[in-house]
Amino acid sequence: MSLTEKSAKVTTIGTFDGVHIGHQKILNRVVKLAKKRGFEPVVLTLFPHPRMVLQKDDSIKLLNTIDERVTILKSYGISEVVVKEFTKEFANLSARDYVQKILINELNTKQIVIGYDHHFGKNRSANINDLRLFAEEFKFTIEEISAQDIKDVTVSSTKIRNALNNGQVALANSYLGYNYFITGKVVKGKGLGRKLDFPTANIYIKEIYKLIPADGVYVVKSSFHNRVVYGMMNIGSNPTVSGKGRSIEVNFFNFNETIYGDIFKVEFLKRLRSEQKFENINALKAQLKKDRSDAQDYIKQLNE
């Protein structure tokens, strides 16, 4: 397909981890510009994170899995999310090749929405001034994202990660503009919850880079066959029963379905408490009853 046959694009480039309120401002601008010019709004994003590839850094934690990121980006009106695999070969692309091969030949970009501090090409050596020169040569325009908007994006991402690492999910949600969530598969656990009269769904998340909030008990919500279900989630090592390793378990309220093997999206609404070690099983059961009561009171307030 020739460039003339490809639909023209307004393209923005970035990690967009979290797709939070700062990102949403940029996305809204891209969609508005595309609509005005009759172009398609597109996001170009990289995966894995460069640090995972170049520094072999497995400690980095992201707010979204790549699948979650794509879904959220599209929910804000982006028609196409182009995920470029970040490899050492990609990192060695010259700035010119990056612009010509990807932005122009592959995407048919006619306008780029980008931050003043954007660097690209081998060793991230090119900047917005170089991009302006390429813009003249390849006939596209540039809309620069303001320094304040860039600062908002950077600060928000840091604040969200810090909030989640401290268990402050309500604060994180206020920066995200939506409820923070995890997506995982229900797997069989040890059945300890059932013995305590609090049967749980054990959630397994294959993406080790996904940021899991701090250990503790949370009010959560999910959906099953288009029905909203609420519950409480425990993240931690179950110290009272000598648990081994960190687990994610959800006790859904008024729910008796068999869901092993199902993929669930679970949203965090509120943190009830940190994880504790209790003197005995009875003390743990008493606390779980209180947690359930507190969670149900909160859910009732939400729905009033």
| Stretch 62-75: mean pLDDT | 97
Show the DSSP H helices in 121-176 as ranges.
128-138, 147-165, 169-176
Q: Find the DSSP H helices in the chain.
A: 21-37, 50-54, 66-75, 88-91, 95-97, 128-138, 147-165, 169-176, 192-195, 281-302
| Euclidean distance between CA atoms 211 and 123, whole angstroms | 28
Average pLDDT across the chain, whole number: 91
**Cβ atoms 263, 225 nearer than 8 A:** no
- Burial of residue 226, with CB atoms counted within 10 A of its CB: 0-12 exposed, 13-18 middle, 19 or more buried: exposed
Residue 155: what pLDDT? 81
Q: CB–CB of 88/123 below 8 Å?
A: no
Instruction: Report pLDDT for 2.
Output: 45
pLDDT tens for residues 193-249? 666 778 889 999 999 999 999 999 999 999 988 899 999 999 998 766 656 678 999
* Mean pLDDT confidence for 114-124: 90
* Alpha carbons 232 and 266: distance in angstroms, whole number: 10
**How far apart (Å, rounded) are the C-alpha atoms in residues 4 and 128?**
26
Q: What are phi and psi of 271, to 5 degrees?
A: -95, 130
What is the bridge-based pairing of β-strands 216-224 and 263-273? antiparallel
Q: What is the pLDDT of residue 18?
A: 95
In this structure, the strands spanning 40-47 and 80-85 are parallel
> Using CB atoms within 10 A of its CB, is residue 68 exposed (0-12), middle (13-18) or buried (19+)?
buried
Strands 9-13 and 40-47: parallel
At 1 the pLDDT is 46
Determine the average pLDDT of the residues in 246-256: 92
Overall average pLDDT of the 74-86 stretch: 97
pLDDT in tens, 125-169: 999 999 999 999 999 999 999 888 888 888 888 999 999 999 999
- In degrees to the nearest 10, what's the CA dihedral of 264, 265, 271, 274? 50
What is the C-alpha to C-alpha distance for residues 6 and 4, in angstroms, rounded to an integer? 6
Contact 222, 213 (CB under 8 A): no
Report yes or no: 194 and 187 within 8 Å, Cβ to Cβ.
no
Tell whether pTM > 0.85.
yes
By mean pLDDT, which of 126-130, 270-274, 278-282 is the weakest? 278-282
